[in-house]
Structure 1
């Protein structure tokens, strides 16, 4: 898609024939200027929806359904209640919006089947890409003082967020600002879905992971990202393809990122036994995230004023630091004791999942996402993501002896129950459904299962038998490989999809002949990133609320391509 596509979409949006009240006809009388009530709702409306960039694109999009005066007034009354009530009835507020969301028609991508690639690229081509991706990461660190990642908004929203799920979010989230932004973003989705601007805001793409279009990308730093950049640079050094200077630069960057994870981003939180535990938050306090002043204010206006720690960032940070050889005392904490308090037990603490967007999944045994801070704040309520639970298993395997997991029945039981949760997910096939995942996509789950499986297989046989006496890991391995080999690599992929496919195939012991489609895709798309790097930015992870917020970046793609190619190259050398 080039200039002609986007220019045509913009022209059609600016000249559309209006048939019914627009978003601004609905909201301006209620939210543009008012006194009293909740000031954040109006501030959010002006910042995110009523701004000079979006207003011209949507001002001519009307909803015929709102030509019904009674329906229009009920919608305005709901917004007024959200604005003025000290404690709004959020289910009632969201009801007229949920009703209008029935036909927005947002769907997951369905890549077309493609002919199988017969031959893998030459070793020299693979090594050229590895070297370039490693240099890209190191060059970015040298330029910025960290390796940045980016967030971008897709205002059309997530395919898994229908009216029912929007109501779940409104009633399950805690922070009022976050409820406000979820409410209004979902109202805007309805108008965008019926506007020619839809083609501009959500253009089509190749593969599964969504490309991140350049406008409105927010650059920042997070311990979660630093943990995976650490693993990528460790992988680069292990390939033997880095120069002496690059090895030294990698070691300096790794040391800095480990310190950012374990020191800068660490905070103390209460555990469920009354003790205190040091965990890791995704957005460090103060200037740690490296937001510009402009975007720091936007973050506040959008309802992200409080950011609490999470189980996933903590697990990944501990794992990366351990792989890097850190001996920081924070790593001695047996996290499984802490995670046990956030583990769902059927009938006992299932209400811990307050935003059950993937409620077709059996949560029993899974660990939820968000950690209460010392003040007891939980702005996002809580949800449960399968991939996060893989990261908890992976870090537990790396700390099996240090945390005395086999010697401590309670810790071993916690591991058994997480594995049981994953087994049920594989048995049902739910792992391959995008709706099952809160923050990720099925192909990323597959890559992360491969990563987790590799850590499991590195353990002594007696330990593996104690951890998984019923062979659940082998069962899940078969299901994941069948998905990657039978679905993912048989369809159109982008470079990010291909990197994740390679990670899964290589870690799970697939025949090296199956690497060819992913290797071919990666080499064929080399250079697509232009001045930003070897590859474009793609969706690594996402948030479904308050709208679809994608996180990734050119550096992220380079990191995953590097890791995928390094794994594949090692397996191919042993053939």
Structure 2
């Protein structure tokens, strides 16, 4: 985004002619100096929406229809009920906001077709970028004592979250604080999307993964990220391109990150049958997430005080530790016994999914996201994400023998039900629909399917036949390859998109000639990150509630690029 775009968008927002009731006309009398009721709602309003920078951008933006007294009073009545009622009727409170949400127009990016490059970069250029990315990760670990990731709010929200989905979230979430933040963020989305400030808050970008340009980025550490960075450094060492000092530093970093995953982030919970189980929480208690004091307080003020473990972080942490050769006793736990209690089975336990934002897919066989903590809390309700279920399959394949999966009918059934869930997703074509995904892009699903497929192919033939007698994996592979080759790499990409394409193509055994557009994109954009790293920060994963919260960072892009290029290099050397 150019300086001219920023300056022009800011000028238009600050000088717009007001026409109608603004967000602050609506909310200030009720929440700026709230006389009573739920104190969190007012605190959230003042912190997240009533702060001076956002107020300056939105104070001249009005909704003309709220000039009609009945509509304004209905909306104010909803806010008063959210503030004052001991047990609010969230469906009724959300209805007037949902109706306004359906007036905004948001779309997913649709990259323009891109001409195919005449040739790909030379092997030496690819290896130079791999070395640069590996050095960036190690330098970051050395400077910080961990490899950071960043979270950033995009207040315009997600294109898939409209009035209907907003009501799903408002009624399906469990924490009142999380309901409050979802209510107010989505109210603000309406004013932002219908104002000149939209061009500043949500500027256009190249490719699919959203750049994280927002100035307010929250640096933090999580076991989920450490597991991912562990895989990236293992990939760097496997290339043989790391110097002896870099290889030694990588081994130390991997050891420390595995320890952070399995020990620091370990949490005791109860399985659905009441038996104790050790899982991995995405956000360990303070001070381990490494928030600044400022952001730690804001996190608390915004209603994110309780964070529970999740199935994805647990699977990825176990997988990374397995790949790193850990012998921690926690890995002896057969995760599939635990996941079976969170697996959707034929309508009987579909209430497990309380926030069905992606109800365009069939949940049968899928495992939900969030794990009840020991106290039984689940503030986010529960949802079901397809990519998370790929991670469960991948860790199961890596621990097939250790967990005696083929020898244990219940565990094998759990795996095969997840495979059936994925096959239905591929057969319907929903895997490439953004609405089918909760936390990830369809393009990231494709890359993670490649990662899962590689773990599957590493199994003995007899094991593969026992796990997948109907050939579901090869069926899904064909569908994913068709999407990556026919859609993703034929359009304009940014470096993150290109890395995802390479990971999918490399793991799925695509022809090396198909790597060219992605390789060209990455090498051409090397250096775009300036002082922060070789590449910019892009969207890795996201939350759709309470608003669109992106997670990524320059180090994340370096790690994805490194892994994608390492796979491409390996295939190129094999063909040489």
Structure 2 equivalent of residue 352 of structure 1:
352
Structure 2 equivalent of residue 154 of structure 1:
154
Instruction: Provide the rounded CA distance (Å) in 2 between the counterparts of 1:297 and 1:355.
Output: 27
- 1:195 and 2:187 correspond: no
Instruction: Provide the rounded CA distance (Å) in 1 between the counterparts of 2:114 and 2:497.
Output: 14
Structure 2 equivalent of residue 12 of structure 1:
12
Deviation at 1:4, TM superposition (A): 1.5
Structure 1 equivalent of residue 513 of structure 2:
513
Instruction: Provide the rounded CA distance (Å) in 1 between the counterparts of 2:243 and 2:125.
Output: 18
Deviations 1:435-455 (A, max 9, x none): 000000011000000000000
Deviation at 1:35, TM superposition (A): 2.5
| SS of residue matched to 1:379 | coil
Instruction: Provide the rounded CA distance (Å) in 1 between the counterparts of 2:347 and 2:506.
Output: 39
Instruction: Provide the rounded CA distance (Å) in 1 between the counterparts of 2:561 and 2:286.
Output: 32
| SS of residue matched to 1:54 | helix
Structure 2 equivalent of residue 556 of structure 1:
556
| SS of residue matched to 1:419 | helix
Query: Bigger CA drift: 473-482 or 293-302?
Result: 293-302
Structure 2 equivalent of residue 444 of structure 1:
444
Instruction: Provide the rounded CA distance (Å) in 1 between the counterparts of 2:26 and 2:503.
Output: 48
- 1:408-557 matches, within 5 Å, as 408-557=408-557
- 1:303-314 matches, within 5 Å, as 303-314=303-314
Structure 1 equivalent of residue 61 of structure 2:
61
Instruction: Provide the rounded CA distance (Å) in 2 between the counterparts of 1:113 and 1:301.
Output: 44
Structure 1 equivalent of residue 77 of structure 2:
77
Deviation at 1:272, TM superposition (A): 1.6
| SS of residue matched to 2:286 | coil
Structure 1 equivalent of residue 332 of structure 2:
332
Instruction: Provide the rounded CA distance (Å) in 2 between the counterparts of 1:35 and 1:256.
Output: 50
Deviations 1:98-126 (A, max 9, x none): 01111210110000011112311001100
- Runs of 4+ with deviation above 6 angstroms: none
Deviation at 1:530, TM superposition (A): 0.1
- 1:172-251 matches, within 5 Å, as 172-251=172-251
Aligned residues of 2:394 and 2:456 also touching (Cα < 8 A): yes
Instruction: Provide the rounded CA distance (Å) in 1 between the counterparts of 2:423 and 2:154.
Output: 33
Structure 1 equivalent of residue 140 of structure 2:
140
- 1:42 and 2:79 correspond: no
Instruction: Provide the rounded CA distance (Å) in 2 between the counterparts of 1:468 and 1:259.
Output: 34
Instruction: Provide the rounded CA distance (Å) in 1 between the counterparts of 2:200 and 2:79.
Output: 28
Structure 2 equivalent of residue 364 of structure 1:
364
Instruction: Provide the rounded CA distance (Å) in 2 between the counterparts of 1:128 and 1:104.
Output: 45
Aligned length: 575
Aligned residues of 2:309 and 2:370 also touching (Cα < 8 A): yes
Deviation at 1:73, TM superposition (A): 0.5
Query: Bigger CA drift: 281-290 or 112-121?
Result: 112-121
Instruction: Provide the rounded CA distance (Å) in 2 between the counterparts of 1:224 and 1:102.
Output: 34
| SS of residue matched to 2:407 | coil
- 1:273 and 2:273 correspond: yes
Q: Let me know the Cα RMSD of the aligned residues.
A: 0.5
Instruction: Provide the rounded CA distance (Å) in 2 between the counterparts of 1:34 and 1:223.
Output: 39
Instruction: Provide the rounded CA distance (Å) in 2 between the counterparts of 1:11 and 1:167.
Output: 34
Deviations 1:382-427 (A, max 9, x none): 0000000000000000000000000000000000000000000000
Instruction: Provide the rounded CA distance (Å) in 2 between the counterparts of 1:65 and 1:102.
Output: 14
Structure 1 equivalent of residue 391 of structure 2:
391
Deviations 1:488-543 (A, max 9, x none): 00000000000000000000010000000000000000000000000000000000
Deviation at 1:136, TM superposition (A): 0.1
| SS of residue matched to 2:35 | coil
- 1:110 and 2:124 correspond: no
Deviation at 1:140, TM superposition (A): 0.2
Instruction: Provide the rounded CA distance (Å) in 1 between the counterparts of 2:335 and 2:257.
Output: 21
Deviation at 1:214, TM superposition (A): 4.0
Instruction: Provide the rounded CA distance (Å) in 1 between the counterparts of 2:409 and 2:45.
Output: 52
Instruction: Provide the rounded CA distance (Å) in 2 between the counterparts of 1:188 and 1:214.
Output: 17
Instruction: Provide the rounded CA distance (Å) in 2 between the counterparts of 1:312 and 1:107.
Output: 28
Instruction: Provide the rounded CA distance (Å) in 2 between the counterparts of 1:274 and 1:9.
Output: 55
Deviation at 1:36, TM superposition (A): 2.1
Query: Bigger CA drift: 296-305 or 17-26?
Result: 296-305
| SS of residue matched to 2:21 | coil
Deviation at 1:347, TM superposition (A): 1.9
Aligned residues of 2:153 and 2:214 also touching (Cα < 8 A): no
TM-score (norm 1): 1.00
Aligned residues of 2:119 and 2:516 also touching (Cα < 8 A): yes
| SS of residue matched to 2:152 | strand
Instruction: Provide the rounded CA distance (Å) in 2 between the counterparts of 1:273 and 1:100.
Output: 43
Structure 1: segments with no counterpart, 5+ residues? none
TM-score (norm 2): 0.99
Deviation at 1:273, TM superposition (A): 2.0
Instruction: Provide the rounded CA distance (Å) in 2 between the counterparts of 1:55 and 1:347.
Output: 46
Instruction: Provide the rounded CA distance (Å) in 2 between the counterparts of 1:284 and 1:338.
Output: 21
